[in-house]
């Protein structure tokens, strides 16, 4: 639903910039709106959590938590449960990205109980599904992702439904069904492209590349993952850049190009270290150890 008023329009402008990967302009819009709570508390509270999401994507963890909490508090003061739930979602996502899964689950569960809008409930279910997948509780994850997609359909949110497809496809790869995953992820790529969301489109391409790798299509995998890496670089999203580099290193190993794999992993470690991604650093070190054993 379009937002009304001058601040609502400025908020919409920031969202458009964010989805197009124009981060600096998006941040300017959100910061402007967030400082004008007296004029429009609902717009300001939303701007706070959207600003927090930008900080989260760029691994600025402390700033993300601080701004998410500002949004939650402002929403709580003005009786805006859905906006408060969105702010809790960002805080939970920060803990999830840092590998603090129990902490993250607490926030997503609170969010689910609080949210009234089906699209926001869809976000909570989606993230709870992601945590279940991390625990390798695949049946629970698939159920939660399916419930998430149903909520997005109820809301008429095509972008959210595409995001659910992305997660379902990624789950199918982890379950060992790359052929099934490919079809689902191709739909997610198409849906994300239509939505105009650069970050989600890149995430769908990355996961489609992983599925193609599992199917033995190395050229197709490299093409998708390289494109995703470029989009994540434009949008300045370090976690996803690291994931792309790790996948490109795996493809280089399969091509019997260990030197190229090491370059990818060394760069991935630099990005992960600069961005405070301890879980990814551990995974990179494991991959480098495995690479050393074949040199």
Q: What is the mean pLDDT of the chain?
A: 94
Residue at which a domain ends, from 218, 236, 254? 236
Residue at which a domain ends, from 236, 267, 282? 236
Domain match, 245 and 227 both: no
Q: Determine contact, residues 42/80, Cβ cutoff 8 Å.
A: yes
Residue 217 in any domain: the answer is yes
Residue with the two structure tokens 């959100």 = 30
Domain match, 170 and 139 both: yes
What pLDDT is attached to residue 98?
87
Could you give the CA distance from residue 183 to residue 169 in angstroms, rounded to a whole number? 8
Mean pLDDT of 90-108: 95
Residue 112 in any domain: the answer is no
Domain match, 227 and 260 both: no
Model pLDDT for residues 222-255, shown as the tens digit of each residue: 999 999 999 999 888 999 999 999 999 999 999 9
What pLDDT is attached to residue 295?
55
Residue at which a domain ends, from 55, 73, 101? 101
pTM comes to 0.83
Residue 110 in any domain: the answer is no
What are the tokens at 20? 């197009």
Domain match, 219 and 270 both: no
Residue 284 in any domain: the answer is yes
Quick one: which of 265, 228, 232 has its CA closest to 249?
265
Domain match, 248 and 189 both: no
Is the pLDDT at 85 greater than 70? The verdict is yes
For residue 116, name the pLDDT band (cuts at 50, 70, 90). Answer: very high
Domain match, 48 and 68 both: yes
Mean pLDDT of 21-38: 94
What pLDDT is attached to residue 108?
98
For residue 193, name the pLDDT band (cuts at 50, 70, 90). Answer: very high
Residue 108 in any domain: the answer is no
Could you give the CA distance from residue 110 to residue 158 in angstroms, rounded to a whole number? 25
What are the tokens at 293? 């054993």
Is the pLDDT at 218 greater than 90? The verdict is yes
- Helices 81-97 + 101-114 axis angle, to 10: 170
Mean pLDDT of 209-213: 98
Higher pLDDT, 162 or 294: 162
Quick one: which of 183, 185, 178 has its CA closest to 164?
185
For residue 1, name the pLDDT band (cuts at 50, 70, 90). Answer: low
Model pLDDT for residues 265-284, shown as the tens digit of each residue: 999 999 999 998 888 999 99
For residue 196, name the pLDDT band (cuts at 50, 70, 90). Answer: confident
Where does residue 99 fall: left (phi above 0), alpha (psi -120 to 50 degrees), or beta otherwise?
Answer: left
What pLDDT is attached to residue 28?
97
For residue 82, name the pLDDT band (cuts at 50, 70, 90). Answer: very high
Quick one: which of 2, 6, 80, 95 has its CA closest to 48?
80
Residue with the two structure tokens 């709570």 = 37
CATH number of domain containing 160: 1.25.40.10
Mean pLDDT of 113-118: 96
For residue 93, name the pLDDT band (cuts at 50, 70, 90). Answer: very high
Residue 66 in any domain: the answer is yes
Domain match, 93 and 151 both: no
Model pLDDT for residues 126-153, shown as the tens digit of each residue: 999 999 999 999 999 999 999 999 999 9
Domain match, 123 and 187 both: yes
- Number of structural domains (the chain) is 3
- What DSSP string describes 119-176? HHHHHHHHHHHHHHHHTT-HHHHHHHHHHHHHHHHHHT-HHHHHHHHHHHHHHHHHTT
Domain match, 156 and 174 both: yes
Is the pLDDT at 15 greater than 70? The verdict is yes
State which residues form the domain around 288.
237-295
What pLDDT is attached to residue 293?
65
Residues 131, 134, 136, 140, Cα dihedral to 10°: 20
Residue 91: count other Cβ atoms within 10 Å of its Cβ. 26
Domain match, 25 and 133 both: no
Q: Determine contact, residues 11/3, Cβ cutoff 8 Å.
A: yes
Residue 80 in any domain: the answer is yes
Mean pLDDT of 26-47: 96
Domain match, 127 and 229 both: yes
Residue 106 in any domain: the answer is no
Higher pLDDT, 158 or 73: 73
Domain match, 201 and 223 both: yes
Could you give the CA distance from residue 226 to residue 236 in angstroms, rounded to a whole number? 15
């Amino acid at each position: 639903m379009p937002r009304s008023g001058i601040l609502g329009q400025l908020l919409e402008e920031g969202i458009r910039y964010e989805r197009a990967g124009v981060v600096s302009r998006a941040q300017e819009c959100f910061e402007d709106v967030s400082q004008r709570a007296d004029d429009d508390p609902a717009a300001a509270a939303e701007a706070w959590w959207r600003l927090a999401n930008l900080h989260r994507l760029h691994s600025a963890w402390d700033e993300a938590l601080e701004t998410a909490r500002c949004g939650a508090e402002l929403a709580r003061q003005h009786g805006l449960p859905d906006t408060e739930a969105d702010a809790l979602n960002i805080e939970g996502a920060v803990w999830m990205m840092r590998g603090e899964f129990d902490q993250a689950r607490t926030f997503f569960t609170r969010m689910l109980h609080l949210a009234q809008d089906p699209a926001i409930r869809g976000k909570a279910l989606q993230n709870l599904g992601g945590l279940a997948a991390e625990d390798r509780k695949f049946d629970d994850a698939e159920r939660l992702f399916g419930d998430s997609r149903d909520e997005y359909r109820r809301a008429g949110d095509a972008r959210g439904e595409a995001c659910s497809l992305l997660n379902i496809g990624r789950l199918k790869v982890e379950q060992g069904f790359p052929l099934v995953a490919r079809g689902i992820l191709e739909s997610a790529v198409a849906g994300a492209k239509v939505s105009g969301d650069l970050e989600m489109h890149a995430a769908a391409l990355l996961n489609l590349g992983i599925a193609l790798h599992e199917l033995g299509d190395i050229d197709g995998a490299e093409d998708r993952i390289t494109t995703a890496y470029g989009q994540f670089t434009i949008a300045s999203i370090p976690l996803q850049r690291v994931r792309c580099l790790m996948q490109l290193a795996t493809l280089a190993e399969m091509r019997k190009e260990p030197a190229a794999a090491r370059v990818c992993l060394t760069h991935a470690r630099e990005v992960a270290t600069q961005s405070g991604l301890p879980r990814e650093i551990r995974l990179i070190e494991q991959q480098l150890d495995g690479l050393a054993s074949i040199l």
